[in-house]
Amino acid sequence: MTPVPTSVPAPTPISGTGVPAGTTLSRSAPVAGLLVTPEAPGGTGIVHLGLGNFHRAHQAVYTALAQSAEPGDWGILGVASRSRRVVDALRAQDHLYSVLRIAPEGSGVSVPGVHTGTLVAGEDPAAVVAALAEPATRVVTLTVTEHGYRISRRTGRLDLDADDIAHDLSARGARAPVTTIGQVARALERRALGHGAPVTVLSCDNLQSNGTTTRDLVLEFLAASGAGQDVLDWASTSVTFPNSMVDRIVPATTGRYADEVRRTTGLVDAAPVAAEPFSMWVLEDRFAAGRPAWQHGGAVFSAEVEAYELVKLRLLNGTHSLIAYLGALDGRATIPEARAQGFVERAARSVIADEYLPSIALPRGFDAEAYVEQLFGRWSNSALGHRTSQVGSDGSMKLPQRVPAPALRMLADGEMPHHLALTVAAWLCCVAPVDGFDPGPHAAAMTDPARERLAELARTAPGIEAFVTAVLAHDRLLGDELAAHSEFAARVADLARTLTTHGPATATREVERCGRDRCA
């Protein structure tokens, strides 16, 4: 496999071209040299749930490149989950925003220009369901993060006990659903009972088999909410849920990026996004009602998407987590700073070579060595300033996608996945430090929906061993199967003890010694 960077046109700096100071980005501003899509799309064929930075620097760019090569009704209605900030900014800018492509050798700006409207789901969930149910909507795309799917960490199925899922199931007809799965399911039901136009639901989140997973969750929701067999049959035949692997490192926006856009273009943009130059998208070509010509942006259509997903989720995301947690515990603010520490790099290389790679059936022709070297290059992009606290956030949602399957494979063979245990131990030390241990400011800045529960367990457990057992075996935060392996929990506890008493470099050396000497 050759990783495929997008061919976002080389940006043309337009500073010094007489743009009056303070001109806001809009279609009437001098954006011609920056716009990826010369024409605004005529119609809205895509509703996107999750108007975050990742969508705006990834799928929107591919869609803009597709539109500029083969124009069609593929405008995007972007739905933010709760925050008005980006929506307000985009509305004031004709739904334009800049994508800053950041590389150590310099940055550049382009403007995708494919959004035709915006909504805030938290304010008007009924409008979201209505948009999803529109016959003109032919593709629904999702970047709602791992948390947005309401997957039970224990069972891997729809979390029927989650309050908002329970709300959506009971709200039938009376109130609009508030969860993503509830909104998609209700819209599909409405389509089935109404015009019947087929549609594709495309997950672009870092979930294993993200399309199949989304389909299962939606069908589970429909069944649990008492949808008729006719609706379930229609959803099975007229809706497709392709799997897709998405990849581009996109940091959280800071004021620095708006300044850089202004310096480069002379324009004021209240909603820029920054991203690395690398971008990759591998999808199954199963679209029920057409799709944009995303191949013009460099998207690859493949029947081996699930293998690409595993490569991405484990080699990139799993290792990213380890780098972020070890780095934060070592006082490093960013991924490049963390990755530059010899012990972090050694740990990252070992977890890839010894624990992640052997767990993956690689896509045909995939050059793992080149991919891994490219990863280390991407993680070294110091101009990007990707924070350890950003990658380390939501570990309770991310790690179940990254750690249990490869760990279980080794445990079943009687081997201890030391670096995966180190990943879990470092996560727990960051987000639920035991009494008296200060993990530092970067760990403190990590957010996690399980943080409160973890803190309670850390406070009430009589020691590290009991704490880890409570997390893994009783609360089963990494799933039922891993919960059964007390030897894994014991290893995590040992490493957590070393991390808190001697720090991450010593814990990594301990793991290396164990790797060599095969200690339990």
Which residues are at the interface with ligand CS2 (CB under 6 A)? 206, 247-249, 317, 320, 390-391, 398
Give every CB contact of residue 366 below 8 A, 6+ residues apart in sequence: 1, 307, 311
Cα–Cα distance measured from residue 322 to residue 391, given in angstroms and rounded to the nearest whole number: 9
Query: 215 vs 314, which CB is nearer to ligand CS2?
Result: 314
Query: 55 vs 320, which CB is nearer to ligand CS2?
Result: 320
- Nearest approach, Cβ of 398 to ligand CS2 (angstroms)? 5
Instruction: Report the residue closest to ligand CS2, judged by CB.
Output: 320
- Nearest approach, Cβ of 420 to ligand CS2 (angstroms)? 15
Query: 95 vs 314, which CB is nearer to ligand CS2?
Result: 314
CA pseudo-torsion sign 416, 418, 423, 427 = positive
**Cβ contact 108:101 at 8 Å:** yes
Cα–Cα distance measured from residue 407 to residue 492, given in angstroms and rounded to the nearest whole number: 12
- Nearest approach, Cβ of 246 to ligand CS2 (angstroms)? 6
First to last CA, the chain: 36
DSSP for 354-380, written as a single string: IIIGGG--PPTT--HHHHHHHHHHHTT
Query: 168 vs 355, which CB is nearer to ligand CS2?
Result: 355
Query: 186 vs 386, which CB is nearer to ligand CS2?
Result: 386
DSSP for 71-136, written as a single string: --S-EEEEEESS--HHHHHHHTTTT---EEEEETTEEEEEB---EEEEEETTT-HHHHHHHHH-TT
- Nearest approach, Cβ of 143 to ligand CS2 (angstroms)? 10
Cα–Cα distance measured from residue 305 to residue 447, given in angstroms and rounded to the nearest whole number: 30
- Nearest approach, Cβ of 429 to ligand CS2 (angstroms)? 18
- Nearest approach, Cβ of 394 to ligand CS2 (angstroms)? 7
- Reference 124, options 56, 177, 87; nearest CA is 177
Query: 99 vs 288, which CB is nearer to ligand CS2?
Result: 99
**Cβ contact 51:18 at 8 Å:** no
- Reference 97, options 307, 273, 335; nearest CA is 273
The residue type at 375? L
- Nearest approach, Cβ of 142 to ligand CS2 (angstroms)? 14
- Nearest approach, Cβ of 206 to ligand CS2 (angstroms)? 5
Query: 58 vs 186, which CB is nearer to ligand CS2?
Result: 58
Query: 150 vs 248, which CB is nearer to ligand CS2?
Result: 248
DSSP for 28-55, written as a single string: TSS-TTTBSSSS--SSEEEEEE--SHHH
